Amino acid sequence: MISRVILSCLLAACLTCPRVCYSADEAVGHRVLLHGQQGLVIVEPDGEISWQMPWGGIHDIAMLENGHILTRQGKTRVVEIDPESKSIVWQYDSGIENGNAGKPVEVHAFERLANGNTLIAESGPARIIEVDRSGKLRREISLVTDHPSTHSDTRLVRKLGNGNYLVAHEADGKVREYDADGKVVWEYEVPMFGKSARGGHGPDAFGNSLFSATRLENGNTLIGGGNGHCLLEVTPAKKIVREIHQDDLPGIRLAWVTTVEVLDNGNWVFGNCHAGPGQPILIEVAPESKRVVWTLDRFDDFGNNVSNSTILQD
C-alpha cells in the first residue's frame, strides 16, 4: 500500500511539474551545465538554477578539472571562464591567429587536452589545431570536406585515447576518424533511411546533418544525428546495433539531436534542441530498453536553442 502511494505521488509530481521529471524507480537527477536564452547556467537536480552568466550562442561547452568553463564567445573565440569571478582567464581567437587573419572562420568544437593544450576545430580553414597556453601552434591536421562550409565543416570533434580525432562533419553527413597524421582511418555516412531531405533543424526538417560522435568503450561509435532526429550506435564494421528515432520515445518527439553523453550506468543523455514547447530539452534513456529515465523540460526558462550541455558528475 505504501509503495502504491509513493508511486502515485511520484507520477503526480512528474505530470504537474514541467521542469524536471524522473522515472518512478530513479532516485536522483542530474546537475547540468548548459546554455539557453538566459546564457550559461548550472541547473541543480531539483531544477533550481544555482549559477548563471549572460552569454551569447555556443556550439560546445565543458567543465574543466579546475572548475572553469571552456566555451565559445562569438564565432571564432574559445574562452576559459572562472565561474566564481565570471571573468575570462584564457582565450584564443581562431579568426586572427596562426594564419587565419582575413579568412572566413567559425569554431564549433574544442577540447582541453590532458597535456594542457587546447584542441580547436576550425570550419572554413577545415583543420584541427592544438595550441598551448600562449597560443602557439603545436599540431595541425587538415580535414577532408566533400561540401566545404565555413558554418558546417564540423560540429563536435574529440580526441580519442589512441591519439586519433573523431569528427562530426555536419555538411557532409559523415563521421570521420583521422589519425595523428591526418589520414582518414574510418568513415561512416549517416543514412537517410529512405527519406527525402527537408531543410532546417526543427522536428519537421530531415537530413543527415549530424551534430556529434562519441567513441564508446566497446569500440562502437554513438552518433547524435542532428536533423535526422536520431541516435545511432554503429560498429567499426558500420552496422547499426542500437537506434532511437524521432517518435520512438513515448510522449517525446525528437528534433535536432545534439550533445550525447554516456553515464557511468551506461545510460545516454542527449540534447533535443529546437523541439518546441512541451518537449524536453534533455533526455536520459536506457539504450537497451529505450526507457526514458529522466528529462529536463525548461522551454519557458531556456528557450528553443539549447544546443549544448554537460552533466556535472561528482
Mean pLDDT of 284-307: 96
Cβ distance 107 to 75 under 8 Å?
yes
The pTM of the full predicted model, rounded to 2 decimals, is 0.92
Share of the chain above pLDDT 70, in %: 91
pLDDT of residue 308 exceeding 70: yes
Could you read off the pLDDT of 112-138 as tens digits, one per residue? 999 999 999 999 999 999 999 999 999
pLDDT of residue 22 exceeding 90: no
Q: Parse the chain into domains and list their residue ranges.
A: 95-189, 190-302
Backbone angles phi, psi at 298, to 5 degrees: -135, 45
pLDDT of residue 19: 55
Cβ distance 225 to 250 under 8 Å?
no
Write out the DSSP string of 9-34.
HHHHHHHH-SSEEE-TT------EEE
Mean pLDDT of 247-262: 98
pLDDT of residue 97 exceeding 60: yes
Give the number of other Cβ atoms within 10 Å of residue 49's Cβ: 14
pLDDT of residue 171: 98
Q: CB neighbours of 140 closer than 8 A, spacing ≥ 6? A: 127, 128, 129, 130
pLDDT of residue 14 exceeding 90: no
pLDDT of residue 265: 95
Task: List Cα–Cα distances, 183 to 89, 154, 171, 249, in angstroms.
Answer: 34, 17, 19, 38
Task: List Cα–Cα distances, 292 to 9, 10, 15, 44, 117, in angstroms.
Answer: 18, 15, 14, 19, 37
Cell of 250: 513515448
Q: Which of 190, 197, 159 is nearest to 174 (CA)?
A: 190
Distance CA 289, CA 274 (A): 25
Tell me the pLDDT band of 219, cut-offs 50, 70 and 90.
very high
Assigned CATH for 95-189: 2.120.10.30
Give the CATH fold of the 190-302 domain: Methylamine Dehydrogenase; Chain H (2.130.10)
Range ranked top by mean pLDDT from 8-22, 25-39, 209-223? 209-223
Cell of 260: 550525447
Q: CB neighbours of 41 closer than 8 A, spacing ≥ 6? A: 33, 34, 35, 49, 51, 52, 53, 302
pLDDT of residue 285 exceeding 60: yes
Distance CA 168, CA 170 (A): 6
Tell me the pLDDT band of 313, cut-offs 50, 70 and 90.
confident
